Amino acid sequence: MLEGVYAALSRATAADWLLLASGLLLGLYLLGTWRYDFFKRRGVASTIPKAPFLGNTLKAFLGLSPFPDLVQDLYRQGKGHGVFGFFEFRRPIFMIRDPDLIKVVTVKDFDHFMNHRSVASEKADPIFTQNLFNLKDQRWKDMRTTLSPAFTTSKIKAMFPLISACTAQTAKHLHEEQEALIKRGKKGPLEVDMKDLFTRLANDVIATVAFGVGCDSQKDPKNEFYFMGKEMTTFTFLRTIIFVAYLVMPKVAEALGLRVLSERATNYFDTLVHSTIKERQQKGIFRPDMLQLLMQAREGQLKAEANEEHETEKFDSKFKLSNNDITAQAVIFFFAGFETVSTALCFTAYALSRHPDAQLRLQKEVDAMMKETGGKPTYEAIQGMKYLDAVINEALRMYPPVVAVDRMCREDFVLPPSDTSPSVHIRNGDITWVPIYALHHDPELWEEPDKFDPERFSDENKHRIKPFSYAPFGLGPRLCIGQRFALLEVKLALVNLVANFDIRPSPKTKHPLQFEKGFNMMIRGGFWNQLIPRNV
């Protein structure tokens, strides 16, 4: 048989080879474009990719374009349409642009859109796939119900001293750096890499609150916890490719056993959690941190308190956590708290440095609070600071750490018609997107959206915000469970910073702001500010 094939190939002419090559190219072209009429068949406005296989998102996935810019560009192309289609490589994505339809997907008919899609293998990355963000269906419901009592107001308040100690420690470190410069005869402001500063702060908060480990990453920049945390959360080019592989060809990626998380870092945190749990059980140690609450949840001892009936979530779960479940949740707290909190702080500091009037007003509010509390902020005092709240909300509007969130349809559903869109049939397995960054910058939803204006969130103005147009922590039942915790950390960090320093722009930070290429919310040139000690 092979001899016949060889004989046929030896008799092939140049014209035969050209015909074969043309056929193969045509076949590849058809394979790479055959889905591009998907949205036309569904009656949905869309943008058609220019090249086979590559879709509309290639540049962002390859780190050639900033992800926020890509999301906003696609959003603008869909102007006038409540639902707009684009392609993530060959996979069609429904971008939900209309806030009223976003409400349908994220709240009203949430049961149809309960899940995020899978981006890892349960066998290769069990820690990553077992955390709350990646769980699906009833398993997610059980885990959310089990964990919710750990994030009530009273539990977050109990962690206040731990967070406060970390933020005060960071302010002290900055003063020590300033004094060291003066001793060396160097005058002028302190030039600070804010991303490095806030990443180390976030690391120390997560270390003490989620893992029960004491760290001072400012004084000990090479401590193992910080090093492993960076390894866990940094998406190298190779890990980005693996992530893309799960999006484009998940079955192949799973069959190859590709890991999204670093195996070494995963093993480190797994061992840390298990050994800490064992020590606390053997020695009867109790600590008011997240790990303790997870241990209580495992034993079914974690309940909402009577005075917390106003909390929006109901607590009635017989689901029991294993030690591996606890590790998985601790790791996702690390992911959420390490990168997103530090990013939110960086952009808020950047905005304050560019808007000295807003910074001065915030400092006056902080000074008044400090005077009232004798220089020792309380949980109630921090939560009562309205302008601080407005500043953070506006920074999160302009620079949301999460650019977009997805929802996978788990049961065929007809999205109802709206003023901007006819009804749309979304089928089981289809992916929808909520384009958070683009919504936050839509001039039809926000007046002068590129202007930093905390007054949007004042008591007098916040009622004007269109519901479901603001979503820095997501929306609906899958709203970030750690929202209260994250906001408290950001507030305490900012209070300690502006109470002690004036924040000034640095020549190292480019202005106007340009995003770094790739998926992370970073700016080109990095986050640099000059800090000048205040005389108050």
Name the residue among 384, 371, 308 with its Cα closest to residue 153. Answer: 308
Flag whether 332 is in a domain.
yes
Q: What is the pLDDT of residue 511?
A: 84
Mean of all residue pLDDT scores within the chain: 87
pLDDT at residue 166 tops 80 = yes
The full length of the chain comes to 536
pLDDT at residue 18 tops 90 = no
Angle at CA of residue 324, ends 321 and 327, nearest 5° = 100
Kindly indicate the confidence band of residue 375, based on its pLDDT and cuts at 50, 70 and 90.
very high
Flag whether 178 is in a domain.
yes
- Cα dihedral sign, 488-494-496-498: negative
pLDDT at residue 350 tops 70 = yes
According to the per-residue pLDDT averaged within each range, which of 8-12, 232-236, 524-528 is highest?
524-528
CB atoms within 10 A of CB 228: 20
Flag whether 312 is in a domain.
yes
Two tokens at 128? 């990553």
Q: What is the pLDDT of residue 86?
A: 94
Two tokens at 376? 């020792």
Whole-prediction pTM: 0.90
Q: What is the pLDDT of residue 346?
A: 97
Flag whether 11 is in a domain.
no
Q: What is the pLDDT of residue 310?
A: 42
pLDDT at residue 25 tops 80 = no
| Dist CA 498 CA 10 (whole Å) | 79
Number of domains in the chain: 1
pLDDT at residue 8 tops 80 = no
pLDDT at residue 309 tops 50 = no
Name the residue among 107, 120, 411 with its Cα closest to residue 259. Answer: 120
Flag whether 278 is in a domain.
yes
Cα-Cα-Cα-Cα torsion 56, 61, 67, 71, nearest 10 degrees, comes to: 20
Which of 2-6, 308-312, 476-480, 502-506 is least confident? 308-312
Two tokens at 84? 């707009």
pLDDT digits (tens, 9 = 90+) for 117-137: 888 888 888 888 888 888 999
Mean pLDDT for 230-249 is: 80
Q: What is the pLDDT of residue 221?
A: 84
| Dist CA 500 CA 174 (whole Å) | 9
When comparing pLDDT for 9 and 420, which is higher?
Answer: 420
Q: What is the pLDDT of residue 474?
A: 94
480 is annotated as contributing to ligand binding? yes
Which of 1-5, 15-19, 42-46, 145-149 is least confident? 1-5
Flag whether 6 is in a domain.
no
pLDDT digits (tens, 9 = 90+) for 188-202: 799 999 999 999 999
Enclosing domain of residue 259: 36-533
CATH of the domain at 225: 1.10.630.10
Mean pLDDT for 384-390 is: 98
Q: What is the pLDDT of residue 19?
A: 66
Q: What is the pLDDT of residue 11?
A: 66
pLDDT digits (tens, 9 = 90+) for 254-278: 888 888 888 888 889 889 888 988 8
Flag whether 331 is in a domain.
yes
Flag whether 4 is in a domain.
no
Kindly indicate the confidence band of residue 374, based on its pLDDT and cuts at 50, 70 and 90.
very high
Residue 154 C-alpha from the chain's centroid: 25
| Dist CA 66 CA 522 (whole Å) | 9
Q: What is the pLDDT of residue 328?
A: 87
Kindly indicate the confidence band of residue 78, based on its pLDDT and cuts at 50, 70 and 90.
very high
